[in-house]
């Protein structure tokens, strides 16, 4: 027994180490892909160092400003040298020559905006709590509501509850966030002033009640879309699982129906939900663009939209890198949860 437990622990540890190494390698590949999208692909399309520098200056650039940015960013260097400098900045920082002074960008250096004359990383950190608050609150609602509705619909297949839930889920999937967001603002912020209108955000550390009160509408609007998708997926998974032989065996043993559904049925059907939830949550941490824009929340999504409108390439690059980082980390967590939910994953499918 002890030998088996030791072997199981080694399998888990080896699996975790493999996944962490793979995650680190994937982050390196992501940095290469993001760098290529912003620097290599434009060059292959015929862009010159001057045209690339123009994207850093902002609107109405002057020839002098373009030449200065080109020299400061060393855009005339070979692309491999620029990528090495880019990766080095992520780990040890980078020095930018502003023309009159040398500006040090502390690690992790996600770039320096010559449009706002500020580092990108501190701006991302300022907006991350807003996006994290929106993502965590909405994720809890859509996961609990979606899975619960999906399980109830599967257990009462064909009933009025099932049909009503699936019709609501279809509406949730079909209606875009900017529509449901505007409708919720019109009804509950202006016609019935129950919740504050868009643009109001109170940090959790200042007033937790005001923080939650200001995020209820964004939470519900965002969760409505995802809960609808999760309800449909959970229902389909439960319908497949509840007809399996091991479910009939569990019932034949006399186990309570609650135990059969929760411990055996739901655990087997939850595996694809874990995958989708991890990736959805990782993407959400990178910025819920439509929701934040609709409710004027100063998060990463709105920051990205403002950066695109202002032609602030370093800010767009920083948000893209941070979003990719969250997705990779979420994928790593999903793999580890897989090993908990299904032991066959960490043992490579061995019997």
For residues 141 and 195, state if they share a domain. Answer: yes
For residues 245 and 108, state if they share a domain. Answer: no
In a domain? residue 349? no
Q: Which residues make Cβ contacts (< 8 Å) with residue 226, sequence separation at least 6?
A: 138, 139, 142, 146, 280
14-56 pLDDT, tens per residue? 777 887 888 788 888 888 888 888 888 888 888 788 887 877 7
For residues 134 and 198, state if they share a domain. Answer: yes
Q: Between the CA of residue 336 and those of 234, 240, 266, 332, what are the distances in Å?
A: 21, 24, 18, 6
In a domain? residue 37? yes
In a domain? residue 108? yes
* Stretch among 169-183, 229-243, 310-324, 337-351 having the lowest mean pLDDT: 337-351
In terms of Cα–Cα distance, which of 119, 123, 100 is closest to 111? 119
- Give yes or no for a contact between 235 and 168, defined as CB atoms under 8 angstroms apart: no
For residues 173 and 28, state if they share a domain. Answer: no
For residues 110 and 125, state if they share a domain. Answer: no
For residues 110 and 224, state if they share a domain. Answer: no
Q: Which residues make Cβ contacts (< 8 Å) with residue 325, sequence separation at least 6?
A: 27, 30
For residues 209 and 324, state if they share a domain. Answer: yes
For residues 88 and 207, state if they share a domain. Answer: no
Q: Which domain holds residue 196?
A: 121-341
For residues 163 and 70, state if they share a domain. Answer: no
Residue that finishes a domain, picked among 87, 117, 147: 117
Question: In total, how many domains does the chain have?
Answer: 2
For residues 159 and 282, state if they share a domain. Answer: yes
Residue that finishes a domain, picked among 65, 93, 117: 117
210-220 pLDDT, tens per residue? 999 989 999 99
0.75 exceeded by pTM: yes
User: For the chain, first and last CA: distance in Å?
Assistant: 17
For residues 307 and 267, state if they share a domain. Answer: yes
pLDDT for the residue numbered 344: 53
In a domain? residue 351? no
Q: Tell me the CATH number at 284.
A: 1.10.3720.10
pLDDT for the residue numbered 335: 76
For residues 278 and 191, state if they share a domain. Answer: yes
């Amino acid at each position: 027994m002890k030998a088996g437990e030791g072997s199981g622990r080694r399998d888990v540890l080896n699996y975790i180490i493999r996944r962490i190494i793979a995650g680190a390698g994937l982050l390196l590949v992501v940095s290469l892909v993001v760098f290529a999208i912003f620097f290599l692909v434009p060059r292959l399309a015929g862009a010159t160092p001057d045209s690339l520098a123009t994207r850093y200056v902002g609107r109405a650039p002057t020839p002098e400003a373009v030449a200065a940015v080109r020299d400061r960013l060393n855009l005339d260097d070979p692309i491999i040298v620029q990528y090495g400098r880019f990766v080095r900045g992520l780990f040890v920082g980078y020095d930018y020559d502003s023309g009159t002074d040398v500006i040090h960008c502390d690690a992790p250096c996600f770039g320096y905006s010559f449009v706002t004359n500020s580092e990108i990383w501190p701006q991302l950190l300022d907006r991350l709590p807003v996006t994290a608050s929106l993502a965590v609150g909405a994720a809890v609602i859509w996961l609990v509501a979606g899975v619960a509705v999906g399980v109830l619909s599967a257990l009462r297949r064909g009933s009025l509850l099932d049909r009503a839930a699936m019709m609501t889920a279809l509406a949730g999937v079909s209606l875009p966030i900017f529509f449901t967001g505007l409708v919720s603002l019109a009804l509950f912020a202006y016609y019935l002033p129950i919740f504050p209108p868009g643009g109001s955000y109170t940090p959790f550390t200042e007033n937790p009640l005001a923080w939650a009160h200001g995020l209820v509408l964004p939470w519900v609007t965002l969760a409505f879309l995802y809960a609808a998708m999760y309800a449909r997926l959970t229902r389909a998974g439960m319908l497949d699982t509840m007809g399996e032989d091991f479910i009939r065996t569990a019932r034949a043993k006399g186990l309570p129906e609650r135990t059969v559904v929760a411990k055996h049925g739901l655990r087997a059907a939850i595996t694809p939900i874990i995958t989708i939830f991890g990736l959805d949550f990782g993407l959400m941490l990178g910025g819920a663009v439509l929701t934040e824009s609709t409710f004027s929340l100063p998060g990463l999504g709105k920051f990205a939209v403002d950066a695109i409108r202002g032609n602030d390439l370093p800010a767009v690059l920083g948000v893209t890198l941070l979003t990719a980082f969250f997705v990779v980390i979420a994928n790593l967590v999903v793999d580890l949860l897989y090993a908990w939910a299904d032991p066959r994953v960490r043992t490579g499918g061995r019997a």
